[in-house]
Amino acid sequence: MIEVENLGKSFGEVAAVQDVSFKAGTGRITGLLGPNGAGKSTTLRILYTVLRPDRGRALVDGIDVVRDPLGARRRIGVLTHSAGSYRQLTARENIRFFGRLHGMGGPTLERRIDELVSKLEMAPFADRRTAGFSQGQKIKVALARALVHSPAIVLLDEPTNGLDVMATRALRELIRELRAEGHCVLFSSHVMQEVAALCDEVVIIDRGRVAASGTPAALQDRFGGTSLEETFVQVLGDQEGLA
Amino acid sequence: MIRTLLTVLGKEFMETVRDRRSLLSSLVLTPLFGPLLFAGGLSLSMNRAITSLDDAIPLAVAGADHAPNLVHFLRQRGFTLTLQDADDAGLRAWIAEDVERVVLVVPEAFGTQLAAGEPARLQLYADASNSRAERYARRTEQALQEWSSILASLRLQARGISPLVVQPLVVDQVDLSTPTTRSTLVLGMLSYLIVLATLLGGMYLAIDATAGERERGSLESLLTLPVPRAHLIYGKVLASALFMTIALVLVIITSSQAITYIPLEEIGMSANFGPAIALGVFVSMLPFTLLGAALLTVVASFTRSYKEAQTWLGAVLVVPTLPILVAGLLDVKAAPGLMLIPSMSQHLLIQGLLRGEPLSAAFLAVSGLSTLTLGVLLTLLAGWLYQRERILG
């Protein structure tokens, strides 16, 4: 469960996030949808505690991310925007390193790594060094290390960026599985089809504010669009911020 | 905290060990080849100096017929003579052809002047800008002076006067320098090499663990883990210090071996770099690895990219070597106050050890404690720097 209330964050003169509030429920997939530079990434970065908000508050499972960042980090698994891995370590070693820093170890950790390797179909390259991995393989390594501690909440920053059709489909399948297992999944995207295909809940962000939110169907009803894409354009339509 | 430190340390260690290129530059190039190049260059220049002492000096003599006794004397003194008659312009052209040539010109009037007891004039042609020609000319002049004083003595004796009359002063030099103290000058460069190789040993890891991690996009994921950021960076500093320690061990081993190939004995010096001295050098230097690793990590934290970090760290490497340069130029002697200055104190301790002096426990303690204190402070600073949002770049 994620609760975000009146979040604001500026970098010097630039107000990246002005007023963002939303909730993302357990066992649901929530999508942060918006054009480039709308404030999606900044919102996520505040949630995973690498940035501190200027205003408002953000809670993960009731834990304030500013007051108890370590507690919040224990409950979240994060796929960051540029999900680089350690090139000289194998995929398995990359995952193991993250697991150890989560306080895991021994046979428990090894079992969990095996589980993730088979779940993400990483067996063919799990014991190879990650230097030279394809984008799809890199994302899998990054996902596996984000999920190694079985977090209740999963945050994904534009996870399908740079993936081909097959890899994108596989990733969507995985996100659905995470929902089925009861995780709270929050991901950002600027691709409407993706959000429409996956999300139970959509939060449309534009210029640092929430422009609209609700289920895809409810949004379509409210704005009278025939598809989510049309709705998206209508929500943002009269503004020039569409990049 | 210990667990986090060890996990990060192990990961950084593994990554660097597997990266052949950074391993080559941090552990092989400087620690291994540095002392070898040092010893090689030194023994080459020494061999040259030693052999040139016994070398026959090539000398051309123009107008040899006018001074047969002088020519005979020069041959006895080991000069290789070429008899070559030419006028002034011809000689200049001849020397221009080969700048190492030195020509002694005996004018026609030489014999008559000598017989008349007047100062007899000689001319020595040489290009003093060429170091070899300059040395030949100096040696020739020394030989001529010798011949001149022999003549003077003979003339005085012929007039019934003791030659001692014109020698009112005799200076005897008593050289108190032992072979070991003399070699310290030469070996002073060695402590510089040891400090530099130690720092270079951890430089790549310091860059890779900070600027490199940011550039590859793995830093942000790392910061989402439930461990304090400072602990992550402490682990990285320790990993860099570990690599500096490995480089230190290597450079000490190669230095102690390389020194035996320098022909120090032939110029009356001796080197003292046995296992006990090597251990002393290691103990003196060990606290410096933490300071070096923390310093490089702090500087690398400010940089945006791998390339920028390399540029900055290259410049920063000069900082710890400055006190050594100052100490070498001013010929500073070890003193308790100086032991407070990191790198200067290590330099002085190593110098003392190489000179064969006993290691002062008090000096070692002051040096170690002050260096460690500064190292810990810089490590804490690195941890603090990683609390800032700007660290994400």
What are the pLDDT digits (tens) for A107-160?
999 999 999 999 888 999 999 999 989 888 999 999 999 999 999 999 999 888
Between A236 and B301, residue with greater pLDDT: B301
**Alpha carbons B4 and B14: distance in angstroms, whole number:** 15
Least confident of A109-123, A225-239, B175-189, B203-217: B175-189
Question: Which pLDDT band holds residue A242 (cuts at 50, 70, 90)?
Answer: very low
Q: Give mean pLDDT, residues B180-198.
A: 74
Residues of chain A neighbouring B224 (CB-CB closer than 8 A): 48-50, 73, 76, 78, 80
| B320 and B340 both lie in a single domain | yes
Q: What is the pLDDT of residue A241?
A: 47
**Alpha carbons B215 and B206: distance in angstroms, whole number:** 14
Closest CB to B14: pick one of A89, A98, A142: A89
- If one counts the domains in chain B, the total is 2
Q: Give mean pLDDT, residues B128-150.
A: 87
The dihedrals phi and psi of B53, each to the nearest 5 degrees, come to: -65, -40
| B136 and B84 both lie in a single domain | yes
Task: Kindly list the residues of chain B whose beta carbon comes within 8 Å of any beta carbon in chain A.
Answer: 3-4, 7-8, 11, 14-16, 18-19, 216-218, 220-228, 389, 392
Q: A185 in a domain, yes or no?
A: yes
| B208 and B353 both lie in a single domain | yes
- Placement of tokens 């079992």 in the chain: A111
Domain that holds residue B32: 2-43+180-392
| B230 and B281 both lie in a single domain | yes
CB contact under 8 A, A101 and B15: no
Between B83 and A79, residue with greater pLDDT: A79
Closest CB to B223: pick one of A50, A74, A142: A50
Paired with A58 in beta bridges are A4
Which of B119, B135, B166 is the endpoint of a domain?
B166
Least confident of B77-81, B203-207, B248-252, B354-358: B354-358
Residues of chain A neighbouring B7 (CB-CB closer than 8 A): 97, 100-101
**Alpha carbons A229 and A195: distance in angstroms, whole number:** 10
| B121 and B218 both lie in a single domain | no
| B327 and B225 both lie in a single domain | yes
CATH of the domain at A49: 3.40.50.300
Closest CB to B226: pick one of A70, A80, A142: A70
CB contact under 8 A, A82 and B220: yes
CB contact under 8 A, B18 and A80: no
Between B285 and B314, residue with greater pLDDT: B285
Closest CB to A73: pick one of B4, B19, B224: B224
CB contact under 8 A, B220 and A50: yes
Helix, strand or coil, per DSSP, at residue A33: strand
Q: B175 in a domain, yes or no?
A: no
Which of B142, B166, B190 is the endpoint of a domain?
B166
Mutate to test the interface with B, among A100, A153, A154, A157 (most CBs of B within 10 A): A100
Q: B239 in a domain, yes or no?
A: yes
Q: Residue B376: is it exposed, middle or buried by C-beta count within 10 angstroms (0-12/13-18/19+)?
A: middle
**Alpha carbons A74 and A181: distance in angstroms, whole number:** 18
- Is residue A17 within 8 Å of A210, Cβ to Cβ? no
| B220 and B330 both lie in a single domain | yes
Q: B171 in a domain, yes or no?
A: no
Question: Which pLDDT band holds residue A225 (cuts at 50, 70, 90)?
Answer: low
**Alpha carbons B39 and B41: distance in angstroms, whole number:** 6
Q: pLDDT tens digits for B89-134?
A: 888 888 888 888 889 999 888 888 888 888 888 999 988 888 788 8
Q: pLDDT tens digits for B364-384?
A: 999 999 999 999 999 999 999
Instruction: Name the closest residue on chain A to residue B15, using Cα atoms.
Output: A88
Q: What is the pLDDT of residue A240?
A: 47
Say what the ipTM of the complex is. 0.89
Between A226 and B390, residue with greater pLDDT: B390
Domain that holds residue A177: 2-83+152-237
Q: B146 in a domain, yes or no?
A: yes
Would you give the DSSP letter of residue B99?
A: T
Q: A59 in a domain, yes or no?
A: yes
Q: Give mean pLDDT, residues A85-113.
A: 94
Question: Which pLDDT band holds residue A243 (cuts at 50, 70, 90)?
Answer: very low
What number of CA atoms fall less than 13 Å from residue B40's CA on the CB side? 7
Mutate to test the interface with A, among B4, B20, B221 (most CBs of A within 10 A): B221
Q: pLDDT tens digits for B48-99?
A: 666 566 667 888 898 888 888 888 888 888 888 888 888 888 888 888 888 8
Q: Give mean pLDDT, residues A195-212.
A: 88
Is beta strand B103-105 parallel, antiparallel or unpaired with respect to A153-157?
unpaired
Q: B48 in a domain, yes or no?
A: no
CB contact under 8 A, B216 and A84: yes
Q: pLDDT tens digits for B257-298?
A: 888 877 766 666 666 778 888 999 999 999 999 999 999 999
In the predicted model, is pLDDT for residue B43 greater than 80? no
Is beta strand A76-79 parallel, antiparallel or unpaired with respect to B57-62?
unpaired
Q: A170 in a domain, yes or no?
A: yes
CATH of the domain at B133: 3.40.1710.10
CB contact under 8 A, A93 and B227: no
Q: B172 in a domain, yes or no?
A: no
| B376 and B270 both lie in a single domain | yes
Question: Which pLDDT band holds residue B185 (cuts at 50, 70, 90)?
Answer: low
State the count of interchain CB pairs (< 8 A) between A and B: 77
| B217 and B327 both lie in a single domain | yes
In the predicted model, is pLDDT for residue B201 greater than 50? yes
Q: A203 in a domain, yes or no?
A: yes
Helix, strand or coil, per DSSP, at residue B103: strand
**Alpha carbons B250 and B194: distance in angstroms, whole number:** 10
Q: Which two tokens stand for residue A224?
A: 């009278």
Which of B101, B135, B166 is the endpoint of a domain?
B166
Q: Which two tokens stand for residue B35?
A: 């002392």
Other C-beta atoms within 10 Å of B162: how many? 10
In the predicted model, is pLDDT for residue B174 greater than 80? no
CB contact under 8 A, A101 and B225: yes
- If one counts the domains in chain A, the total is 1
Q: What is the pLDDT of residue B88?
A: 84
Long-range contacts of B139-144 (CB under 8 A, 24+ apart): B139/B57, B140/B57, B140/B59, B140/B74, B140/B79, B140/B102, B140/B104, B143/B73, B143/B74, B143/B77, B143/B79
Instruction: Name the closest residue on chain A to residue B232, using Cα atoms.
Output: A101
Other C-beta atoms within 10 Å of B54: how many? 7
Mean of pLDDT over chain B: 85
Q: A36 in a domain, yes or no?
A: yes
Q: B287 in a domain, yes or no?
A: yes
Other C-beta atoms within 10 Å of A121: how many? 12
Please measure the distance between the N-terminal and C-terminal CA atoms of chain B and give it in whole angstroms: 26
CB contact under 8 A, B225 and A102: yes
| B86 and B235 both lie in a single domain | no
CB contact under 8 A, B224 and A48: yes
Q: What is the pLDDT of residue B235?
A: 94
Q: What is the pLDDT of residue B181?
A: 55
- Is residue A36 within 8 Å of A226, Cβ to Cβ? no
Mutate to test the interface with A, among B218, B232, B386 (most CBs of A within 10 A): B218
Element (H, E) at A201: strand A201-206
